[in-house]
């Protein structure tokens, strides 16, 4: 095996490695082109990518919750297999579901009507959301029990698989028990996705981006089989290739590659489904949420870059749209609506079959912003 690393400069916005020696000779022209691109137009993208066309018009208050509820923080969104209905998290009208019996997961039709709601009383902090090919809903509970609040005992640190009617079909981890990153127990899981064979991938560990994180902080990808049996895990806390600092978002592209929003490192990392590192893109800012279309167009939601001047200086929050084929950002959706006149900062993102883009906003009270082509 010969390993080729395509990294034309230390700060290249993308790198690739682990190419088989069998293909080196045929790939040499391509590698040369990649190096030229790295030294030219793509290298320029190391500067904050905020000035891109925005062919979308954004709207708020298009979806109405039942019983006059106001939207709280949303965070997780994904499309139903029909491509028309949207599943979304509403953290019980606030930024937590502690002490609430409200259903935090809602199914919304194209007209903005809630046609189903599930999950009441099950979770503390619903976070990542995934809808599989069979229409089952997967949700991560991204916090754990609090000693000062006995009602939270036995909750959190898990991933639930729910039927569209809300029946619990599978639980990953043990409710209320935090793992240490060495077994099947989970610790503040961020996101979840499934592959065509039903295998399950969990982005485990929300604290890796924190200033006090250390090498023992949980930051990994955990792979389970379709029945919830642990297969393997990889990653670990750090900034090197393959290491992670808060694997906040997951999706799988058309080439069966796992794309990880490594938020604490301000990059997308690309792995095969066995955990082998393939490459990374740094051109999509600080990824909180990702959605990949069938033709490998990727939509990356950045919710945190404008929180301070240290996490990702100079970059604006919003949704960047580009191709996984080259990592070039084509569009930037700022999500400006009345409640967010300077632009919204979604944590989750999904796209329906008509091309409408949904941004799930956590901060500033929360919102579900819909952006349609002009």
Q: What is the pLDDT of residue 66?
A: 87
pLDDT tens track for 290-336: 999 999 999 999 999 999 999 999 999 999 999 999 999 999 999 99
Task: For residue 201, tell me if it sits in a domain.
Answer: yes
pLDDT band at 15 (very low <50, low <70, confident <90, very high): low
Enter the pTM of the model: 0.90
Give the chain's domain count: 1
Report the chain's mean pLDDT, rounded to a whole number: 90
Which secondary structure element, helix H or strand E, spans residue 2, and what is its range? Answer: none
Q: Write out the residue range of the structural domain in which residue 135 sits.
A: 48-373
In a domain, 22, yes or no: no
What is the separation of C-alpha 8 from the centre of its chain, rounded to a whole number of angstroms? Answer: 28
- pLDDT value of position 14: 53
Residue 374 pLDDT exceeds 60: yes
Q: Give the pLDDT mean for 155-164.
A: 98
Burial 112-127 (b: 16+ CB within 10 A, else e): eebebbbbeebbbbbb
CB-CB neighbours of 256 under 10 Å: 11
Mean pLDDT of 145-165: 97
What value does the mean pLDDT take over residues 35-56?
Answer: 68
27 pLDDT more than 70:
no
**Residue 355 pLDDT:** 98
- Alpha-carbon distance of 209 to 203, in angstroms, equals 13
Residue 4 dihedral angles phi and psi, to the nearest 5°:
-115, 130
**CB–CB of 224/199 below 8 Å?**
yes
CA distance 283 to 299: 12
| Segment 61-77 mean pLDDT | 92
**Rounded distance between C-alpha atoms, residue 361 and residue 91, angstroms:** 11
Lowest mean pLDDT among 11-25, 138-152, 279-293: 11-25
Closest CA to 257 of 296, 286, 289, 230: 296
Q: How does residue 20 score in pLDDT terms, banded at 50, 70 and 90? A: very low
Q: Between the CA atoms of 35, 278, 242 and 322, what dihedral angle is there, to the nearest 10 degrees?
A: 70
The CATH number of the domain holding residue 142 is 2.120.10.30
Q: Confirm whether 155 is domain-assigned.
A: yes
Strand partners, 250: 260
Asked if residue 20 is part of any domain, the answer here is no
pLDDT range class, residue 9, cuts 50, 70, 90? very low
pLDDT for 40 = 40
Instruction: Establish if 248 belongs to a structural domain.
Output: yes
Quick check: is 176 in a domain? yes
* Residue that is written with structure tokens 């999500």 in the block: 335
pLDDT at 26 over 50: no
Residue 10 maps to a domain: no
- State whether the Cα torsion 115-120-125-130 is positive or negative: negative
C-alpha torsion angle, residues 115, 75, 297, 351 (rounded to 10): 20
Residue 332, phi then psi, degrees to nearest 5: -135, 115
| Residue 368 included in any domain | yes
| CA nearest neighbour of 37 among 319, 236, 360, 325 | 325
Match 């036995």 to its residue by tokens.
Answer: 154
Question: Measured between alpha carbons, how far is 193 from 260 in angstroms, rounded to an integer?
Answer: 11
């Amino acid at each position: 095996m010969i390993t080729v690393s395509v990294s034309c400069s230390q700060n290249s916005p993308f790198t690739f490695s682990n190419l088989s020696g069998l293909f080196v000779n045929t790939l040499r022209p391509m590698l040369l082109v990649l190096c030229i691109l790295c030294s030219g137009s793509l290298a320029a993208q190391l500067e904050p990518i905020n000035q891109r066309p925005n062919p979308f018009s954004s709207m708020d208050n298009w979806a109405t919750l039942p019983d006059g509820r106001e939207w709280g923080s949303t965070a997780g969104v994904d499309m139903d297999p029909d491509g028309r209905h949207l599943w979304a998290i509403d953290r019980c009208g606030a930024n937590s579901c502690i002490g609430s019996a409200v259903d935090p997961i809602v199914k919304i039709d194209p007209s903005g009507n809630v046609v189903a709601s599930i999950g009441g009383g099950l979770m503390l902090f619903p976070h990542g959301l995934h809808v599989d090919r069979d229409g089952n809903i997967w949700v991560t509970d991204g916090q754990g029990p609090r000693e000062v609040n006995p009602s939270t005992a036995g909750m959190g640190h898990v991933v639930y698989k729910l039927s569209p009617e809300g029946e619990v079909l599978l639980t990953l981890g043990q409710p209320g028990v935090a793992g240490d990153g060495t077994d099947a127990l989970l610790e503040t899981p961020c996101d979840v996705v499934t592959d065509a064979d039903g295998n399950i991938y969990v982005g485990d560990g929300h604290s890796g981006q924190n200033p006090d994180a250390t090498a023992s902080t949980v930051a990994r990808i955990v792979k389970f089989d379709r029945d919830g049996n642990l297969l393997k895990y990889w990653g670990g806390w750090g900034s090197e290739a393959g290491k992670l600092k808060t694997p906040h978002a997951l999706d799988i592209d058309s080439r069966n590659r796992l794309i990880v929003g490594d938020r604490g490192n301000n990059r997308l990392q690309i792995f095969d489904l066995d955990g082998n590192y393939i490459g990374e893109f740094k051109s999509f800012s600080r990824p909180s949420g990702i959605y990949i279309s069938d033709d490998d167009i990727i939509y990356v939601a950045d919710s945190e870059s404008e929180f301070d001047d240290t996490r990702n200086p100079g970059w604006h929050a919003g949704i960047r749209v580009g191709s996984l084929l080259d990592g070039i950002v084509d569009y930037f959706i700022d999500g400006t609506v009345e409640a967010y006149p300077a632009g919204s900062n979604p944590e989750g993102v999904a796209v329906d079959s008509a091309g409408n883009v949904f941004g799930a906003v956590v901060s500033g009270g929360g919102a579900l912003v819909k952006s349609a082509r002009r």
